[in-house]
Structure 1
């Protein structure tokens, strides 16, 4: 039986961006399924002690930039350390990913998530803007206008809320967060352990 990787994410997270393509590749390699669960990271932070970037101590903010540069170079992924549209709320993008999953399936949602994250961190695109999000969905072969409408429905909001509540119950405190058979892994730098969990 194929193993399932639960994938809790906030699409505005640079760390999620850095791990996204590798997660998809790991799942494909081992025949695992990804259960993509966009969540409200602000609410998760609120119950887990996390702080928005602007409220973190200066030394933590500075080291974050060092690590982002290291990982970007190591993975050979383009990443702008100071993107034009960041900080940015991730709610609209998260709900668009949910809408894509409901309408087109998990693979389409994963593809759209990747485009959204690259848009923030390598493309200087504003993922809080509906027009930008609609264009991204269209680039992925979907009807962007219709998907934006779907993202605003009560059903999508309910799934977003469920994902967030489930993350809180699972003791998630950051993004990305992966879970395999109940075991949690925080951060793209834990993907080696995720691969062991699904490949073993």
Structure 2
């Protein structure tokens, strides 16, 4: 069975656009997905990237066009400038980490729940009540928002270190543990699918 380490940001528009396609292809190939939320701003800083706010206007304009195009192609509701972005991604990341530890069977839906809240529903996923509601809506105990803080914080930091070691520099970023092959971006999922079929 292949293991896919999925480095993600709970406020990343490209992770949102990935939707549930990773889970679908993992199921087809009998692969296991390990969800690893990371602090994307720190990851950019550690690997030579530039935060969106500091990018050249031409890059920002292209990003806006690209996100809108992909949302149309994938037929996903999308707000280019959501009401609550950027926000502190740590609390929602801690919740994902705690939920995966409690029951990994629905982590993908939970991750997408947070992403959809930002980019489609314009909700503030740094708000404790919103986090509890999203946990509950995806079958998790809403108290994980509180009880998972310590473990979440420690794992969040470890995820960043592992992401750097694995060669990740953005999100979504997929690493197939058995082969060491890396795939960056929701538009590389077809290549990941093909690779898993050849293992």
Q: TM-score surpassing 0.5?
A: yes
Which aligned segments of 4 or more residues in structure 1 are displaced greater than 3 angstroms?
A: none
Structure 1 residue 142, shift from structure 2 partner:
1.8
**Aligned match of 2:3:** 4
**Aligned match of 1:51:** 50
Is 2:147 the partner of 1:123? Answer: no
Give a deviation string over 1:7-60, Cα, whole Å, max 9, x none: 010110000111131111111122111111111112111111212211111111
Is 2:163 the partner of 1:167? Answer: yes
Gap runs ≥5 in structure 1: none
Distance 1:91 1:178 in 2: 20
Gap runs ≥5 in structure 2: none
Distance 2:98 2:82 in 1: 26
* Counterpart selection for 1:147 from 144, 154, 162: 144
**Aligned match of 1:24:** 23
Q: What TM-score, normalized by structure 2, do the two folds share?
A: 0.95
Q: What TM-score, normalized by structure 1, do the two folds share?
A: 0.94
Distance 1:151 1:14 in 2: 25
Distance 1:175 1:71 in 2: 16
Number of aligned residue pairs: give it. Answer: 196
Structure 1 residue 156, shift from structure 2 partner:
2.0
